[in-house]
A and B are shown apart, each in its own frame.
Chain A
Amino acid sequence: MDELESTLKPLMLDGLDGDAQAHARLLKLLSERLRAYFGRRLSTSLDDVEDLVQETLLAVHLRRATYDRAQPFTAWAHAIARYKLIDHWRRRKIRATAPLDDVEDFVASPPVDVDAGLDLTRVLSTLPPRQRALVEDVKVQGLSLSEAGLRGGLSEGAAKVALHRALKVLAERLRHAD
């Protein structure tokens, strides 16, 4: 626990100061912890676990201003993960009131495609073309935000704003995706 804290907190602090590499590394390490955390608590499919990991990463990223630098980072991240898990369960309970007689769905063979991040892929396709292209261009490392913006005819500043707005929309829609 202390070792985790001493690895993650400096990365978080550097990320808050604008170090994008530290930020990405933090999210990478965090995603592994989240996968284990949700995996132990969700008996459902691995797809669900990965969807929840992605939703939580988006929340951690978009709401990182709420992290108090004097507090332990793991406590902050854990509280968000726990909240997202409870929120997931709550939404599932509401869905459980859906009709019980959809036998056809049950009998039909389960989807074989277990590609991770199905929800996010689906939600991404609901974005306006320009924002979607921007996200698609930066998701594979190699193309910087300014290059991706240029391809879409945007200045770096405009691309920055557009990407941030796109992520907020994605996070909001992801909550209602399942």
Chain B
Amino acid sequence: MQTDELINVLGADAGPIARSAPVRRLALGAGVGSFIVLVLVLGGLGLRPDLAEATVGVFFWIKAAYTAALGAAGFWAVERLGRPGVSAKQPARLGAAVLLIFVLAALAQAFSLSGPARMVALKGVSWTVCTRNIAVLAAPLLAITLWILRQLAPTRPTVAGFAAGAFSGGLAATLYGLHCPEATFVFVALWYTLGIAVSGGIGAALGRWALRW
């Protein structure tokens, strides 16, 4: 088929395109994915027994704000990386700033504690499962996000995959906070961050081949 003939065919398929179509599709995917993660947290892990008291305290919300901010930076980056020729520097800077602030807070807390107390804070009661739980919870959301991202036009598959993983990990970690009772900067900065990073790594590895079009 000649190129001019193809153009005739594409012209016949022309029609108005909604302005915010990509964002809306990604947001819908995020909604469906979050619901699945929430079901997994409630059904598979259960709420933390002291949830009602915890929500009165400050740290519960600081923890949620930290992971949600990382997730939001990831979502922003995904939205930008799905568009050819658009840079993701701003969301990357946001993510780095959030991470830096939280890690500094964790370091301050670590130095304020005595040696044994520091280890107690670092290990909490769930350090052996925290990172894995977050990465596993993020998986369904990551799959949905990659599937939608593939229908946009990511020209940097690995970076876009990482952003999708960071977004999924951040959101999953936020919902995981409904189950996990850990309440120190030290613990969250290490194990939660690691969980989100693992999800980002999985996203980058999958993105390399899944985000081709």
Chain A interface (Cβ < 8 Å from any Cβ of B): 15-21, 23-24, 27-28, 31, 50, 53-54, 57-59, 61, 63-69, 71-72, 75-80, 82-83, 87, 116-117, 120-121, 124, 135, 138-141, 144-145, 148, 160, 163-164, 167, 171, 175
Closest Cβ of chain B: how far from A154's Cβ, in Å?
13
Interfacial chain A residues near B82, Cβ < 8 Å: 66
**Does B129 touch A at the CB level, under 8 Å?**
no
Interfacial chain A residues near B101, Cβ < 8 Å: none
Q: Is the CB of A83 within 8 A of B3?
A: no
**A148-B8 Cα distance, complex, nearest whole Å:** 13
Interfacial chain B residues near A54, Cβ < 8 Å: 1, 3, 6
Chain B interface (Cβ < 8 Å from any Cβ of A): 1-19, 21-22, 82-86, 152-153, 155, 212-213
Q: Is the CB of B10 within 8 A of A23?
A: yes
Given A63-B153, A139-B9, check contact A20 B14 (CB 8 Å). yes
Q: Is the CB of B1 within 8 A of A117?
A: yes
Given A66-B22, A69-B19, check contact A116 B10 (CB 8 Å). no
**A53-B8 Cα distance, complex, nearest whole Å:** 15
Q: Is the CB of A59 within 8 A of B17?
A: no
Q: Is the CB of A24 within 8 A of B10?
A: yes
**A58-B152 Cα distance, complex, nearest whole Å:** 13
Which one of A21, A83, A124 contacts B11 once the chains associate, using CB atoms below 8 Å? A21
Please classify the interface of chain B as helix (H, G, I), strand (E, B), loop, or mixed, using the class held by over half of its residues.
loop
Q: Is the CB of B12 within 8 A of A163?
A: yes
Q: Is the CB of B12 within 8 A of A65?
A: no
Q: Is the CB of A65 within 8 A of B17?
A: yes
Q: Is the CB of B152 within 8 A of A63?
A: yes
Closest Cβ of chain B: how far from A28's Cβ, in Å?
6
Interfacial chain B residues near A69, Cβ < 8 Å: 19
**A87-B157 Cα distance, complex, nearest whole Å:** 11
Closest Cβ of chain A: how far from B19's Cβ, in Å?
7
Q: Is the CB of A75 within 8 A of B85?
A: yes
Given A63-B152, A71-B85, A79-B84, check contact A139 B6 (CB 8 Å). yes
Given A75-B85, A80-B153, A83-B84, check contact A15 B6 (CB 8 Å). no
Interfacial chain B residues near A140, Cβ < 8 Å: 5, 8
Q: Is the CB of A139 within 8 A of B152?
A: no
Closest Cβ of chain A: how far from B79's Cβ, in Å?
10
Interfacial chain B residues near A50, Cβ < 8 Å: 3
Q: Is the CB of A117 within 8 A of B9?
A: no
**A79-B15 Cα distance, complex, nearest whole Å:** 23
Closest Cβ of chain B: how far from A61's Cβ, in Å?
5
Given A66-B84, A117-B3, A175-B213, check contact A80 B155 (CB 8 Å). yes
Closest Cβ of chain A: how far from B91's Cβ, in Å?
15
Interfacial chain A residues near B155, Cβ < 8 Å: 79-80, 82-83
Closest Cβ of chain A: how far from B158's Cβ, in Å?
13
Closest 9 CB pairs of A and B: A24-B11, A79-B84, A18-B16, A79-B85, A20-B14, A75-B85, A139-B5, A83-B155, A23-B14
Given A66-B153, A71-B86, A79-B84, check contact A57 B11 (CB 8 Å). no
